[in-house]
Amino acid sequence: MAQELEIKLSVAQSDLDRAVAWLLGQPNTRESDTLQLGNTYYDTPAGDLNRQKIALRIR
């Protein structure tokens, strides 16, 4: 099974161009088309997964 690495960043709108330029300057990176992904998260009615700090997500 493939391993996925997800990095979430919060960037102020005024810093966005500079952040993108930095990211594209890193080795083995390139700009690509923008994709819209849909996510559905599942948990028990009592929130058992969330309480254990885990998630079941279908993308």
pLDDT 10s digits, 3-55: 777 788 899 999 999 999 999 999 999 888 888 889 899 999 999 999 999 98
* Residue 16 confidence (pLDDT): 94
Q: In sequence order, which residues have a C-beta less than 8 Å from that of residue 38 and are 6 or more positions away?
A: 59
* Residue 19 confidence (pLDDT): 93
Residue type, 5: L
Residue type, 48: D
Partners of 41 in the beta sheet?
57
What's the whole-model pTM score? Answer: 0.47
Residue 33: both structure tokens together:
């088309």
* Residue 50 confidence (pLDDT): 94
> In this structure, are residues 7 and 23 in contact, taking their beta carbons and an 8 Å threshold?
no
C-alpha span between 12 and 9 (Å, rounded): 10
Question: What pLDDT band is residue 1 in, cutting at 50, 70 and 90?
Answer: low
**Domain ranges in the chain?**
35-59
